[in-house]
Amino acid sequence: MNARENILKRIRAANGKQGGATTQEREAIVARLRAHTRGPLPSMNWDPLPRFKERCIVMMSTVDQVDSRTQLPQAIAKYLRENSLPVRGICWPEFADLGWAAAGLEFEARPSGGDDKVGVTGAFCAIAENGTLMLLSGEHTHATTSLLPETHIAVVPASRVVRAMEDGWDLLRNERGDMPRQVNFVSGPSRTADIEMTLVMGVHGPFRVHVIVVDQ
Amino acid sequence: MQITSQDFKRVSSLKLADPKLQKAMGNAKGKLVVTRAKSILELDNFEEIREAAARIRDFGMQYMDVLLEEWERNATAAGTIVHWVESPAEVNAKVIEIARRHKVRKIIKSKSMLGEETDLNHALEQAGLDVRETDLGEYIIQQSGETPSHIIAPAVHKSKDDVADLFAEKHRRRRLTDIAALTHEAREILRPHFLDADMGISGANFIVAETGSTMIVTNEGNGRMTTTMPRVHVAITGIEKIIPTLEDVSMILRLLTRSATGQSISNYLSFTTGPKRDADKDGPAEFHVIIVDAGRTKVLGSDMREALRCIRCGACMNHCPVYQNIGGHAYGWVYPGPIGSILTPAYVGLENAIDLPNAATLCNQCGVVCPVKIPLPDLMRRLREKQVERGLRPWRERAGLRMWAWAATRPGIYALLARIGARIGRLAGGRTGLLKKLPPGASGWTDGRDFPAPTGQTFRDLYAKRTDAGRGGRA
């Protein structure tokens, strides 16, 4: 505890407030933390869904759209076959009941052990501003499914596309309350430009991200 | 990290004469400046956001104690184990202590500039721990036994051929020459380590008071691996990384990635709040955060305070005409470029980094691009003043200035000396009117060019004539 007190004391001294914040100041700061006031946002004169799809492509994801959830296995099978990708993998438990076998696919609802080639996830919501998926870690929303496989397929209901990250935080507070262990904002496949500033996809995370919007 | 900033002049001369480095720097300069400029245009209120971001960073400093206490309270409530340490050595000792307690053998690490400050990898290796950097650039640097030359692109000084040679040697594989193939080879080599490491060490781009979270901004996915795969995760962070709310972070992120790499957003923004929950199938069982002073409070209480606003985007170095030509290693410590010329003296002592505040033309390109409006040239100027006040400049310079001051405050003597100087200069210039070599102290100027010799008349002579003629004309 000594280091903690020393550091706090030095901060207060550096700010010329040896006595620390007054009760009033402290209350004002806590109130500011709870107010969730947004900073200035750039203009967002666009419809969220078309913007989301457009920005996904800019971030080098690919995008598809289906009418309903039951069409997902067919759409996924088509994507995997067209790109000569393995037709088996893992998915979040919420997709365990889909008709995988009928589409010639094999998907198991479990976390990734590291060797799985394709991972299917949902998303807590999607953010139109930059074509971003907002993923929460959790019992049924394994963090590894969107990370370890070479191909990440993300299913996004059209009704869950919001404008900005700030809208995502509001949804999280309203629907969940607490923060999960990890919130990941994913915008396209893993990439680097560490060698000669040349962009390469697929460093440690997925080589490709395929987003399927479900109209419902 | 060992400081070699004293060698700035010598090393920068070597770097200027290094054709490989010059090629790499030329390539980087073109890309980073242009991509940033383009991405900034996406924000129609860039200046407004920039102003707000600077205010948030100042708020964070002004109420740092309260915000850190709030952060700690929320982090602890989520199950995070919080440690506070004061010095770089204590950071390393604390990480080693946690590793020993968990019988850790292998560590995977994602980028941390604070870890560079404390020379963490070296300390871990000395403690018998196997530590692997996983950011591709950092991995290259670790394998070649170097230090980063840029805070965002640590291996920017290396060519693809350098990396090809290095990987062929270290991985004992066939030498590849394609950049994508080299990248994927690193992926293959590192993947097993991600899966069997016992501990992950990460830095933090920000820590969020409202939620008690730490957050990192990455592109490769190694940050997500480091914070998710091993059974213990340790994040190390400076106290100045505190941000009040998630909304504030979201706003600053619009500036950070655009200023850093010209991306509208990084691939992965990961907010971590506590360890694995009971029902979770992945994530570490223990999550430690080490909150570090290591010189920050000293800067907070000084006239260099604004430097603590820094969000480590690297835009100042990308746009600095000095950095662009000499690269990062010449600066001799963790942070190169304009921000390094302020942070290095602030953290390791002005006397150990005497040339850095002078390694700038004060063109203010850094100040213009800084997303949190740090007045970098002003701070460098202040450090220059301090050097003079504290008598840190070389004795020749001090003696020279004293002599000049003595003469300049005595107009008669000054005029006489100037006249003598001008005459001698004219004679030395001979028929060409050029001086091939200036006297010691200024001889560097004539290393690569000639100096126009004085014409025999002093400024005072010329000025007196001009005003006489002017008066005559009007009369």
The token duo for A133 is 């998926």
Whether the CB-CB separation of B299 and B307 falls below 8 Å is answered with yes
pLDDT digits (tens, 9 = 90+) for B372-415: 999 999 999 999 999 999 989 888 888 988 999 999 999 999 99
CB contact under 8 A, A203 and B221: yes
Chain B contact probe: residue of A15, A17, A171, A203 with most B CBs at under 10 A: A203
A209, containing H or E segment = strand A208-214
For B270, the closest chain A residue by CA position comes to A184
- Does residue B473 register a pLDDT over 50? no
How much of chain A exceeds pLDDT 90, in percent? Answer: 98
Beta strands in B56-192 (DSSP E): 81-85, 106-109, 130-133
Q: Does B118 touch chain A (CB under 8 A)?
A: no
What value does the mean pLDDT take over residues B139-147?
94
Q: Which residues of B touch A169 (CB under 8 A)?
A: 246-247, 250
Q: What distance in Å separates the CA atoms of residue B330 and residue B4, rounded to the nearest whole number?
A: 8
Query: Given 3-state DSSP classes, what are the helix, strand and coil percentages for chain B, each rounded to the nearest 5?
Result: 55, 10, 35
Lowest mean pLDDT among A2-16, B269-283, B416-430: B416-430
For A194, the closest chain B residue by CA position comes to B137
Comparing CB atoms, the residue among A58, A147, A196 nearest residue B27 is A196
**From the CA of A74, how many Å to the nearest CA of chain B?**
28
- What integer pLDDT is reported at residue A1 of this predicted model? 57
- What integer pLDDT is reported at residue A113 of this predicted model? 86
Q: Does A44 touch chain B (CB under 8 A)?
A: no
What value does the mean pLDDT take over residues B177-185?
95
DSSP count for chain B of H helices, then E strands = 21, 12
Whether the CB-CB separation of B67 and B209 falls below 8 Å is answered with yes
- What integer pLDDT is reported at residue A216 of this predicted model? 80
pLDDT digits (tens, 9 = 90+) for B353-374: 999 999 999 999 999 999 999 9
The total of other beta-carbon atoms located within 10 Å of residue A86's CB is 14
Q: Does B194 touch chain A (CB under 8 A)?
A: yes
Choose among A57, A69, A52, A80: nearest CA to A153.
A80
Q: Does A198 touch chain B (CB under 8 A)?
A: yes
How much of chain A exceeds pLDDT 70, in percent? Answer: 100
Distance separating the N- and C-terminal Cα atoms of chain A = 55
pLDDT band, very low/low/confident/very high, at B474 (cuts 50, 70, 90): very low
Whether the CB-CB separation of A59 and A188 falls below 8 Å is answered with yes
Mean pLDDT for chain B? 94
Number of residue pairs across A and B with CB atoms under 8 Å?
Answer: 263
- What integer pLDDT is reported at residue B475 of this predicted model? 41
Pairing of strands B434-435, B451-452: antiparallel
Q: Does B135 touch chain A (CB under 8 A)?
A: yes
Q: Which residues of A touch B270 (CB under 8 A)?
A: 182-185
Q: What distance in Å separates the CA atoms of residue B263 and residue A12, rounded to the nearest whole number?
A: 37
What value does the mean pLDDT take over residues B57-81?
98
Q: What distance in Å separates the CA atoms of residue A139 and residue B276, rounded to the nearest whole number?
A: 10
Q: What distance in Å separates the CA atoms of residue B82 and residue B291, rounded to the nearest whole number?
A: 7
The total of other beta-carbon atoms located within 10 Å of residue B311's CB is 24
Q: Does B414 touch chain A (CB under 8 A)?
A: no
Q: Which residues of A touch B227 (CB under 8 A)?
A: 182
Q: What distance in Å separates the CA atoms of residue A178 and residue B194, rounded to the nearest whole number?
A: 28
Q: What distance in Å separates the CA atoms of residue B18 and residue B283, rounded to the nearest whole number?
A: 46
Question: DSSP string covering B12-35, please?
Answer: HHHHHT-HHHHHHHHHHHHHHHHH
- What integer pLDDT is reported at residue A5 of this predicted model? 97
pLDDT digits (tens, 9 = 90+) for B228-267: 999 999 999 999 999 999 999 999 999 999 999 999 999 9
- Does residue B460 register a pLDDT over 90? no
Choose among B100, B138, B348: nearest CA to B92.
B100
**From the CA of A164, how many Å to the nearest CA of chain B?**
9
Q: What distance in Å separates the CA atoms of residue B384 and residue B362, rounded to the nearest whole number?
A: 12
> Tell me, what DSSP letter sits at residue B329?
G
DSSP count for chain A of H helices, then E strands = 5, 12
What value does the mean pLDDT take over residues A71-98?
97
Choose among B159, B115, B110, B167: nearest CA to B135.
B110
Question: DSSP string covering A76-133, please?
Answer: HHHHHHHTT--SEEEE-GGGTTS-TGGGT-EEEES---S--SEEEE--SEEETTTTEE
What value does the mean pLDDT take over residues B165-176?
96
A163 Cβ contact list (under 8 Å, min separation 6): A44, A48, A127, A128, A129
pLDDT digits (tens, 9 = 90+) for B186-239: 999 999 999 999 999 999 999 999 999 999 999 999 999 999 999 999 999 999
For B294, the closest chain A residue by CA position comes to A7
Question: DSSP string covering B217-270, please?
Answer: EESSSHHHHHHHSSSEEEEEEEGGGEES-HHHHHHHHHHHHHHHHS-SS-SEEE
For B285, the closest chain A residue by CA position comes to A181
CB contact under 8 A, A203 and B136: yes
The token duo for B264 is 């509208």
CB contact under 8 A, B251 and A40: yes
Choose among B274, B398, A57: nearest CA to A65.
A57
A68 Rama class: left (phi>0) / alpha (psi -120 to 50) / beta: beta
What value does the mean pLDDT take over residues B45-63?
98
Q: Does A119 touch chain B (CB under 8 A)?
A: no
Comparing CB atoms, the residue among B32, B244, B270 nearest residue A184 is B270
- Does residue A195 register a pLDDT over 60? yes
